[in-house]
Amino acid sequence: MVGAEGRSRQQVLRIDREPSRPPRPETREELRRALPELLAGADAIVLSDYGYGVLDRSLVEAVLAAAGDRIVVGDSRYDLPMMRGVSIAKPNHAEAEALVGHPVVSEEECRRAGPRLLEMLDVGALLLTRGNRGMMLLERGEEPVFIPAADLPGEVTDVSGAGDTVVSLLALSLAAGADFREAAELSNIGAGVVVGKLGAATVSPTELVNAAMRIGG
16, 56, 164, 179: the catalytic one is 164
User: What is d(CA 156, CA 159) in angstroms, rounded to the nearest whole number?
Assistant: 7
Pairing mode of beta strands 125-129, 135-139 = antiparallel
User: What is d(CA 60, CA 54) in angstroms, rounded to the nearest whole number?
Assistant: 10
Query: How many CA atoms are closer than 13 Å to the CA of 187, on its beta-carbon side?
Result: 31
122 part of the active site: no
Query: Please, are residues 86 and 64 in contact by the beta-carbon 8 Å criterion?
Result: yes
Query: Please, are residues 133 and 106 in contact by the beta-carbon 8 Å criterion?
Result: no
In the sheet where 88-89 sits, what is the strand order? 44-49, 71-76, 88-89, 125-129, 135-139, 145-147
Give catalytic residue positions.
164
